[in-house]
Structure 1
Amino acid sequence: MDIRTLRYFLVTAQERNFTKAANKLCMAQPPLSRQIKLLEEELGVTLFIRNSRQLQLTEEGYFLKQQAEEILLLIEKTEHQLEKMGNNDYGTISIGATESCGGSILPHLIEGFHEVAPHIRFQIWTGNSDEIQERLEKNLVDVAVVREPFNMEQYDRIFLNHEPWVIICNKEHFLAKRPEGVRVSELQDASLIIPIRQPIQNEINSWFNEIASERNIFCLYNSITSVMGFAEHNLGVIICPESAKNLINRETLTYRKIIDPVHESGTYLVKKHLQLMATATEKFWKYVEHQTKSNPSKYKESMR
């Protein structure tokens, strides 16, 4: 199985039709059909269910499509970086970031760097920390902004900031009447919407265990923007890092810090340990490292 055949397969899987795929690949349809048949024979599996209307992917076909997308993306990224390696002024940096970090921390990281390296471009991929870690391991992103809890053993890291956990709720919710902040004990009377990541669930549950308090977990979320409507309709309160306040509709929603006790979440810029970085990525890493060390209090406060 070579790269060319993998591209043939991926286009065919996307088009679900040999004729359309052949046109897109600028080749005749019979040779394309023959290449896919040879690929199936080589792998010993059926990739498509062929009928008169359109091609249907088999389970093996879906799996190969997913893998082919990642493989070809990595090849494209590798080719692009090799072209730019050795040139300090050009290149593309691929960054993974959690949803709240992508909207709050990344602009501050990139703004100053863009002034000193205006020709370097960025690709941003968002997801939860588990998804970002997977992309780091597969070299699909160069560096990532992640939030604790996160297993740092295999990664080099630069500490960025600590930010408190808050609730986001409808302005008419009873907890919105607490401008000084919301105590953990007061959350036992609310329907809670919390992150789906198990380490964060464990951490939030520990808050209530410390005070022997009950909790009502109404909903788990992977993407905070997907549950903003729940808070707007007063279905519950969202527990999230403070930076998520930048995502709310301030006409209907507000946020309050969780206090007594205060709970905080640390954020880090990470890369794989001993990773060989492209010149542009290395320049960005050193820039962030210098900024956080030279004026840490000012830099961390700017990312709030």
Structure 2
Amino acid sequence: MELRHLKYFLAVAEELNFTKAAEKLCISQPPLSRQIVELETEIGARLFNRNNKKTELTEAGKYFEKEVTALFQHLDQITSKTQKIAQNISGEFRIAYISSIYSGVISELIQNLKAVFPYVNFKLFEISTTKQIAALEQGKIDLGIIRSPIKSPKIKSQLWFQDGFSVVYNKSNLQINAEEEISSLKDETFVFFNKEYAPHYHEVLLELCAFYGFTPKVAHESNNINSIVQLVKNGLGISIVPSNIAKNNTDPEMGFIELKKVNLFTDVSLITAKEDESEITKVAVDFLLKKNS
């Protein structure tokens, strides 16, 4: 059975007239009749009742018409999706981000991309800066959102925004009314990012504490910003987090004091492969850049 047999069958089923169906298919009637006979022989069922006056579908023919019509509709969908993949607007797009980036922005990004590229399967990964760089170099992700300088000949980096820092504490355990009181925290227990997980960020936190005249007593470490905030909420210490976290935290138990006097910032950058010119990447980067313009 070949595809042409099915096309010829549908033409006859629609016209219920071999002469009209042949004209529609731009072939003569005898070859069309032979193709239908071949199809019926292969299936082992009569599809049409035909005489000199009219042509009708048999019950088997009606069922066959329904199923073949559905088959061609599915084939059209397959063809359309294949074309979209070939045009680089389908497939899979992998986005990595660090935990200190507000997830609401990431959610908005996915919603926007899904509206523009409905056939794409978007995947999100929370990965440290160091691992993101390695993953991008190896082609395991398509877009990364990192927090620190980057040096790689294979990667293109664009500054997304500069983020300041804020002290975070549990209001029931501690009261800080102004930035001038930060130096009094020298005897407090701190919760920091793990040094091995984010070495550059860890060093920046130490610099911040040095600016206010003390060395922090780090009792707990984590490689996830949300875990750090939760530890602080549970009364296990205080911490210094990106101001971006403070802006998006509405928990009434938590207090934040922005460190405005110190001239220290962390760059949040968007990274892509240097040779990546895909439309999806361009739309994703443009969307994020506009969110902070």
TM range (shorter): 0.5 to 0.7
The answer to whether the Cα contact below 8 Å between 2:89 and 2:120 also exists between their aligned partners in 1 is yes
Q: What is the match of residue 283 of structure 1?
A: 279
1:177-215: per-residue Cα shift (whole Å, max 9, x none)? 34xx57653443432212112211112222233455332
Counterpart mapping for 1:46-85 below 5 A: 85=85
TM score, norm. by length of structure 1: 0.58
1:252-299: per-residue Cα shift (whole Å, max 9, x none)? 323332232153222111023224x6xxxx223212444567xx5xx2
Distance 1:154 1:88 in 2: 21
- Structure 2 gaps of 5+ residues are 1-81
- Structure 1 gaps of 5+ residues are 1-81
The answer to whether the Cα contact below 8 Å between 1:193 and 1:236 also exists between their aligned partners in 2 is yes
Residue 255 in structure 1 maps to residue 253 in structure 2 = no
Deviation of 1:95 after TM superposition, in Å, equals 0.8
**Per the alignment, in what secondary structure is the counterpart of residue 236 of structure 2?**
coil
Code of the residue aligned with 1:191 in structure 2: it is T
Code of the residue aligned with 2:90 in structure 1: it is Y
The answer to whether the Cα contact below 8 Å between 1:195 and 1:239 also exists between their aligned partners in 2 is no
Q: 1:192 aligns with which of 178, 181, 190?
A: 190
Distance 2:92 2:187 in 1: 48
Q: What is the match of residue 225 of structure 2?
A: 224
Percent identical residues: 14
1:144-178: per-residue Cα shift (whole Å, max 9, x none)? 11112444554102221122222222122434434
Q: What is the match of residue 15 of structure 2?
A: none
Residue 118 in structure 1 maps to residue 118 in structure 2 = yes
Q: What is the match of residue 204 of structure 1?
A: 205
1:78-126: per-residue Cα shift (whole Å, max 9, x none)? xxxx996423442321111111226144234334333333333310011
Q: What is the match of residue 135 of structure 1?
A: 135
Residue 265 in structure 1 maps to residue 263 in structure 2 = no
TM score, norm. by length of structure 2: 0.60
Q: What is the match of residue 64 of structure 2?
A: none
Code of the residue aligned with 1:264 in structure 2: it is F
Counterpart mapping for 1:19-34 below 5 A: none
Code of the residue aligned with 2:157 in structure 1: it is R
- Alpha carbons of 1:164 and 1:152: their partners in 2 closer, same or farther (altered >3 Å)? farther
Q: What is the match of residue 93 of structure 1?
A: 93
**Per the alignment, in what secondary structure is the counterpart of residue 95 of structure 2?**
strand
Deviation of 1:228 after TM superposition, in Å, equals 3.3
Code of the residue aligned with 2:279 in structure 1: it is K
Code of the residue aligned with 1:286 in structure 2: it is K
**Per the alignment, in what secondary structure is the counterpart of residue 259 of structure 2?**
strand
Counterpart mapping for 1:113-192 below 5 A: 113-151=113-151, 153-178=153-178, 181=179, 185-192=183-190
1:12-42: per-residue Cα shift (whole Å, max 9, x none)? xxxxxxxxxxxxxxxxxxxxxxxxxxxxxxx
Code of the residue aligned with 1:258 in structure 2: it is L
Number of aligned residue pairs: 209
The answer to whether the Cα contact below 8 Å between 1:145 and 1:268 also exists between their aligned partners in 2 is yes
Code of the residue aligned with 2:229 in structure 1: it is M
Q: What is the match of residue 46 of structure 2?
A: none
Distance 1:176 1:284 in 2: 45
Distance 1:98 1:184 in 2: 27
**Per the alignment, in what secondary structure is the counterpart of residue 166 of structure 1?**
strand
Q: What is the match of residue 4 of structure 1?
A: none
